[in-house]
Amino acid sequence: MSKQPTTPQQGTRGRFTAKRASRILIAAVPVAVAATVVLGGVAQGAVPVSFAISGSQFKISASALDGTGFSQYAGVTNDSKGGAHQVAIANIANATLTNMCQSVTSDTPLGKVGVKITAGGDGKPVVAQGLQIGMTDLKGDAKFTNIRIGVDASTVNTAAKGAAGDFAQDSDGITISNLQQISWTTTAAVFELNGMHVALTNGDDECF
């Protein structure tokens, strides 16, 4: 006589799915932006954040970013297995993002799962302070105010700085329209997601 699946087994699978989705959601919540990619030498020890990255990159888009207090230099961030990833580190003291979207996907034993977050529409942009981003790719139309290109990374005009002797740029202001970005990390002192909507997807519905 064959044995029918029991309720505890079904419950275990449900708990696994919920746990896996929650991990993806937690990884997706910190979101932000950056600026044009200028990679000089790798800034040894100048990592974008002080934690091991998850090993999954995420996508961010926005119809417009307006920021003040910008700097950028090269750096390295490490994943939990010790793997090193070269990134462009961007710092923005204050920023607003209009029509922001972030998406991240992950392969699980139950198939591909994604999380998509949208915010900053209806005239109420996302507001961020103290941003630092470790990114690998950026597209958009950028405008800088009082830009300095080729400064020493240890002397940029932001609180966060790179390693002495490394190439960097900074500016008083930055505007990017039609932003599309791929990042490993983002941190912020304050992040206000006005009109936030979080949705689980099958992994195919990404920001771009």
Residue 109 in domain: no
Which residues pair with residue 132 across a beta bridge? 91, 187
Q: Which residues form the domain of 146?
A: 31-98+130-191
First to last CA, the chain: 52
Q: Angle 84-27-22 (CA atoms, 0-180°, nearest 5)?
A: 140
Is residue 64 situated within a structural domain?
A: yes
Residue 8 lies in a domain: no
Q: Is residue 92 part of a domain?
A: yes
pLDDT tens, residue by residue, 121-170: 999 999 999 999 999 999 999 999 999 999 999 999 999 999 999 999 99
Task: Summarize pLDDT for 19-29 with one digit per residue, the tens.
Answer: 554 444 444 44
Nearest residue to 178 (alpha-carbon basis) of 9, 33, 5: 33
| Confidence class for position 179, pLDDT limits 50, 70, 90 | very high
Length of the chain measured in residues? 208
49 or 39: which carries more pLDDT confidence?
49
Is residue 14 in some structural domain? no
In a domain, residue 22? The reply is no
Residue 78: per-residue pLDDT:
83
Does residue 85 sit within a domain?
yes
Is the pLDDT at 204 greater than 60? The verdict is yes
The answer to whether residues 179 and 60 touch, using CB atoms and an 8 Å cutoff, is yes
For residue 80, being part of any structural domain is answered with yes
Please tell me the total count of domains within the chain: 1
pLDDT confidence bin for 82, thresholds 50/70/90:
confident
Question: Of 15-19, 136-140, 182-186, which gets the smallest average pLDDT?
Answer: 15-19
